[in-house]
Amino acid sequence: DWNMPDYIAEAVEAIRAQVGKEEVILGLSGGVDSSVAAALIHRAIGDQLTCVFVDHGLLRLNEGKMVMDMFAKNLGVKVIQVDASEQFMGKLAGVTDPEAKRKIIGAEFVEVFQREAGRLTNARWLAQGTIYPDVIESAGKGKKGAHTIKSHHNVGGLPETLNLKLLEPLRELFKDEVRELGVALGLPHDMVYRHPFPGPGLGVRILGEVKREYADLLRRADAIFIEELRNTAIPLPAELAEGREVGYFHKNWYDATSQAFAVFLPVKSVGVMGDGRTYEYVVALRAVQTQDFMTAHWAHLPHDLLGRVSNRIINEVRGINRVVYDISGKPPATIEWE
Ligand code: XMP
């Protein structure tokens, strides 16, 4: 049981005491943890914080704009946006193996971040959005491989090479506490309650070789899917609604799923459009419900919702003429396709 205003005041004091007049850099990913860390640290030390936002070209539609609007425009945080998509695409050309792609994306991410951070010669601290479950995982008590999966997310090894001290103001918080804190610090509710998004981004949602053309198609298909999930309300059965607080149940299919996204299949199939024959790519939709992401069920989305998403993707995204729905559980399938 915690009192949010008191908690923020204490956390702000602690950050001020820790860093004094020194400067701090933080890698913003667009994810919840780094965003909340940035908002909290900015509340404490204002312009002593500089954020670096690396766009690897594998982010969701309008992600860059969303991050810049939220931090630079609305909160007045100093953010350096780095468009590194050219560099990432170059390194990924011809690479099809999922783990090889992950390694490349992770290594490039560290390199780009390091280069940018190296320019901020006054920085003495590296801030990270490490939360309590990450601390536990890193201590080796988590699932096997969990640390390596997340390693580039929390840019491990950077403090040493950059000779920076580590600032981790969320180290003692659980995810739901981080979210509450984010809302209290003025971050938009929809942002703070987003589904998790993997560090390698669309890089592991484009099967096989990553190409900019594929990423552009996938981004648009994915955005349509997410928009429809958010806009589709789930009617509450009368017998359940009675006596419950309003909002006790999930209000829409986005909130009712743990993770949902589109996957690009670099396979062409035949279709018809108007008088013509098409021969275009396939997109798979994935939506799962899970407590811990170790096991997951595929979400039983309503058929009319799936139909609407499929129609919209095929009509609005030229280059995709077929949409399929993934009905595999984890295990034996994983949540991501790579
Ligand atoms: P899987 O596909 O293993 O995914 O069932 C379980 C959870 O982990 C996320 N995931 C990743 N997150 N880097 C990340 O930061 C990765 O390389 C990665 N691979 C999977 C996935 O999105 C899901 O939430």
Query: Do residues 210 and 190 share a domain?
Result: no
Q: Single out the residue in 141, 172, 196 at which a domain terminates.
A: 196
Tell which residue, 6, 197, 31, 9, has the closest CA to residue 128: 31
**150 and 137 Cβ atoms separated by less than 8 Å:** yes
Query: Do residues 119 and 255 share a domain?
Result: no
Query: Do residues 235 and 321 share a domain?
Result: yes
Q: Single out the residue in 161, 196, 231 at which a domain terminates.
A: 196
| Total domains present in the chain | 2
Domain coverage including residue 100: 4-196
Query: Do residues 70 and 185 share a domain?
Result: yes
Query: Do residues 234 and 175 share a domain?
Result: no
pLDDT tens track, the chain, 338 positions? 679 999 999 999 999 999 999 999 999 998 999 999 999 999 999 999 999 999 999 999 999 999 999 999 999 999 999 999 999 999 999 999 999 999 999 999 999 999 999 999 999 999 999 999 999 887 765 444 443 444 445 555 566 777 899 999 999 999 999 999 999 999 999 999 999 999 999 999 999 999 999 999 999 999 999 999 999 988 777 766 677 665 555 589 999 999 999 999 999 999 999 899 999 999 999 999 999 999 999 999 999 999 999 999 999 999 999 999 999 999 999 999 99
CATH number assigned to the domain comprising residue 215: 3.30.300.10
For residue 296, which atom of ligand 1 is closest to its CA?
5
3-state secondary structure the chain: CCCHHHHHHHHHHHHHHHHCCCEEEEEECCCHHHHHHHHHHHHHHHHHEEEEEEECCCCCCCHHHHHHHHHHHHHCCEEEEEECHHHHHHHHCCCCCHHHHHHHHHHHHHHHHHHHHHHCCCEEEEECCCCHHHHHHHHHHCCCCHHHHHCCCCCCCHHHHHCCEEECCCCCCCHHHHHHHHHHCCCCHHHHCCCCCCCCHHHHCECCCCCHHHHHHHHHHHHHHHHHHHHCECCCCHHHHCCCCCCCCCCECCCCCCEEEEEEEEEEEEEEECCEEEEEEEEEEEEEECCCCCCEEECCCCHHHHHHHHHHHHHHCCCEEEEEECCCCECCCCCCCC
Q: Single out the residue in 196, 216, 250 at which a domain terminates.
A: 196
* Residue 265: inside a domain: yes
Mutation probe of ligand 1 site: the residue of 110, 151, 336, 338 with most atoms within 8 A of C-beta? 336
* Residue 36: inside a domain: yes
Ligand 1 centroid vs 137 CA: distance in angstroms? Answer: 14
Ligand 1 centroid vs 73 CA: distance in angstroms? Answer: 31
The yes/no answer to whether this complex scores an ipTM above 0.85 is: yes
Query: Do residues 165 and 223 share a domain?
Result: no
* Residue 332: inside a domain: no
* Residue 330: inside a domain: no
Q: Is the dihedral of CA 63, 294, 204, 307 positive or negative?
A: negative
* Residue 180: inside a domain: yes
> Between β-strands 165-167 and 123-127, what pairing exists: parallel, antiparallel or unpaired?
parallel
Query: Do residues 188 and 237 share a domain?
Result: no
Mutation probe of ligand 1 site: the residue of 99, 293, 337 with most atoms within 8 A of C-beta? 293
- Is the preceding omega at residue 332 within 30 degrees of 0, hence cis? yes
Query: Do residues 84 and 43 share a domain?
Result: yes
Ligand 1 centroid vs 31 CA: distance in angstroms? Answer: 13
* Residue 337: inside a domain: no
Query: Do residues 287 and 168 share a domain?
Result: no
Query: Do residues 136 and 221 share a domain?
Result: no
CATH number assigned to the domain comprising residue 130: 3.40.50.620
Identify the residue whose tokens are 């690396």.
54
Residues touching ligand 1 (Cβ under 6 Å) are: 102, 149-150, 153, 196, 198-200, 259, 293, 330, 334-336
* Residue 159: inside a domain: yes
Query: Do residues 120 and 9 share a domain?
Result: yes
* Residue 139: inside a domain: yes
Query: Do residues 253 and 157 share a domain?
Result: no
